[in-house]
Structure 1
Amino acid sequence: MIGNENISFDMLNVFIKVSETKSINQSSKVLLLSQPAISKKIHQLENYVGAQLFNRSAKGVDLTYDGHMFYVFATRMLNELTRTIDEINHKNFSFSNLTIGVLDSISSFIFPNFFINKVYELQKLEVTNKGIDLIMPFNEGRLDAIIIDSAFGDDIVGPYVQKKLFEEPYYIVYSQSNTKMSPLIKSATVRAIDLQKFNLILLPTHCPIHQQVVKTFNRLNVALPEIFENNYSELTISLVRNSDFIAVLPESIAVNKVAQDTNGLGMNKLEIAFNRSVSVFGRSADIVEEIEKELA
């Protein structure tokens, strides 16, 4: 017999999670609800259905026969609801409602066509060379999606959807007249230990490239070479061209810079440990899917 309680999708979600974990304690951790709150929702649901849904014991909870039947109904209903909402969101999706953030190097050298086409359509486009300038507004809900190095996922809080877009190697860029490079020019790849005798010039520590270089040396347990910081990418290339400095750049940027000065600059790939991964992070699956589709 159905009781006086009103069923809710929240009740169904709690019921499904308890059914799958077989533990109110574990469900509490996953759902971020107190155990008394979960027990109350289960009691309300049993009143509504008019049947006991769980057998309770010191070891946890198990579905009763009626509970198994109701589990099939509940999962089917929630799956149908999710599918319908996704279809509605997909149908009504518009880039004009989105605020997107992206690293300058990614927008300029990897996906220029996307941002050229979308710059006037987007509600807001935030372009920066500082990862923190994207992560903070994303965490605070002021950006719907960000396109950034995958490693920054460790700094993102709250629920999000991530889709890896591509991976590329890092290269060292050097002057053709840099005699220190002679032993390495014919090498298939350059190792971290090979760079110890060189002076690196990088953007400041807020730059994802700088952070990736430092993290990789630390991960390989190799001492860092001397690093000089410079705020301006064009000045960095100019200094490399006219000195013994070398720069570490992802392939998309290195190829662009060397192609502009093939007589003055050279490049060699770094070992795979330096590889760069870039992802799109969004607050919902439909946002990530639409951005990925447009970038393809």
Structure 2
Amino acid sequence: MDIRELEYFVTVSELQNFTVAANRLHVSQPAISKSIHRLEEELGFQLLNRTQKKVLLTEEGAVFLDLAKDILARIIAAQNTMTEYKNLTRGTFRIAVPPLLGAYVFPELFAAFKKNYPSLDMAVIEDGSSTAVDLVKREEVHVGLVILPPTLTDLDSHLITSQEIVVCLPTEHPLSQEPFLTFEQLKNEPIILYNEGFVLRRIILEEYAKHNITPQVALSTNQFQTIKALVAKGVGISFLPKNSIKVVNHVTKIPLHPHLFLDMGLIWKPDKVLPLACKAFIDFVNQFDPNENSN
């Protein structure tokens, strides 16, 4: 049984005439007759009564007609759906985004992508960059928008932007007027960091270790807004990308000396077959200029 046999059978049944059906389908009448005969042999019963001037359905043929119509409708729907996926008018993919990037990099990128591909969807999983890398490697998500680690094996990546890390402290803090700050100046300050699994946390702790300083971690969280609010309340200082702190009441940002930077980008597994929607997103990100699209 194939699609053509079903199509021939349905057309003959509806038109009740082999000749008219052949003209409608632009095939020869013998071809239609042979095709329906093969279908009847395969099913084991007669579908059409050919003894009258009009071709009429047998009882079994009437039952099979409804089934054949349903099969053809499903096939057409499947073909249309796949065409939509191919033309990028439908599709979805999974992306891991850390809260930090989700707060100020992802919204801009997402809005620009949706403007170009309004019918494509993405399922967003929020977690730290280290966890996001693992999710991509385990193929639990298709791509990750992450703070890029110094070394990245088994994954392809694309750098989106490089951001300077600044010290965030209360406006009334004694160090708030300094042109820059060193880790030596900050050694006695309580700090607020992201939880384990966040690349930014690891980078900051590694910098403290380089200076032989044991940090005083006052609190850890995975919430970007919580960090800013706690800094504003004077609970401690923190370290965040410069552009993530636009205008925040009672928070001052000061550069580090020497300067410290974060590379942010997209990662994906090169040997994995990705959804077309995800490939479109990767291609879009490769052309995306955050400076050009920023307000």
TM range (shorter): 0.5 to 0.7
Match for 2:166 among 171, 174, 177? 171
Q: Is the 8 A contact 1:200 1:228 kept in 2?
A: yes
| 1:292 correspondence with 2:280 | no
Please tell me whether Structure 1 or Structure 2 has the larger radius of gyration of its CA atoms. Answer: 2
d(CA) in 2 for partners of 1:97 and 1:235?
Answer: 31
Q: Structure 1 unaligned runs (5+)? A: 1-90
d(CA) in 2 for partners of 1:136 and 1:152?
Answer: 15
Deviations 1:20-77 (A, max 9, x none): xxxxxxxxxxxxxxxxxxxxxxxxxxxxxxxxxxxxxxxxxxxxxxxxxxxxxxxxxx
RMSD (Å) for aligned C-alpha atoms: 3.1
Q: Structure 2 unaligned runs (5+)? A: 1-84, 272-278, 291-295
d(CA) in 2 for partners of 1:102 and 1:246?
Answer: 24
Q: Is the 8 A contact 1:110 1:252 kept in 2?
A: no
Q: Is the 8 A contact 1:172 1:249 kept in 2?
A: yes
Match for 2:268 among 272, 275, 282? 282
- TM-score using structure 2 length: 0.56
Match for 1:151 among 129, 149, 152? 149
d(CA) in 2 for partners of 1:248 and 1:136?
Answer: 24
Letter of the 2:287 partner, please give it: K
Match for 1:215 among 206, 209, 215? 206
Question: How many pairs were matched up?
Answer: 193
- More helix by proportion, 1 or 2? 1
Letter of the 1:198 partner, please give it: E
Letter of the 1:230 partner, please give it: S
Query: SS where residue 223 of structure 1 aligns?
Result: coil
Letter of the 1:290 partner, please give it: F
Please list every run of at least 4 consecutive aligned residues from structure 1 whose deviation after the TM superposition is greater than 6 angstroms: none
Letter of the 2:193 partner, please give it: L
Q: Between the two proteins, what is the percent identity of the paired residues? A: 9
Letter of the 2:202 partner, please give it: Q
Match for 1:135 among 111, 124, 133? 133
Q: Is the 8 A contact 1:199 1:228 kept in 2?
A: yes
Q: Is the 8 A contact 1:170 1:274 kept in 2?
A: yes
Aligned-pair CA distance for 1:143? 2.0
Match of 1:72 in 2: none
Deviations 1:188-227 (A, max 9, x none): x322222112111122223332122012233x34313211
Match for 2:253 among 263, 267, 285? 267
Please list, as runs of the form range in 1=range in 2, the aligned pairs for 1:175-254 lying within 5 A after superposition: 175-179=170-174, 181=175, 185-187=177-179, 189-218=180-209, 220-231=210-221, 232-243=223-234, 245-253=236-244
Aligned-pair CA distance for 1:130? 1.9
Match for 1:162 among 153, 157, 166? 157
Aligned-pair CA distance for 1:96? 2.3
1:99 to 1:140, Cα distance in 2 relative to 1, 3 A: same
Structure 1 range deviating more: 202-211 or 231-240: 231-240
Aligned-pair CA distance for 1:170? 0.8
1:108 to 1:93, Cα distance in 2 relative to 1, 3 A: farther
1:272 to 1:127, Cα distance in 2 relative to 1, 3 A: farther
1:122 to 1:229, Cα distance in 2 relative to 1, 3 A: farther
- TM-score using structure 1 length: 0.56
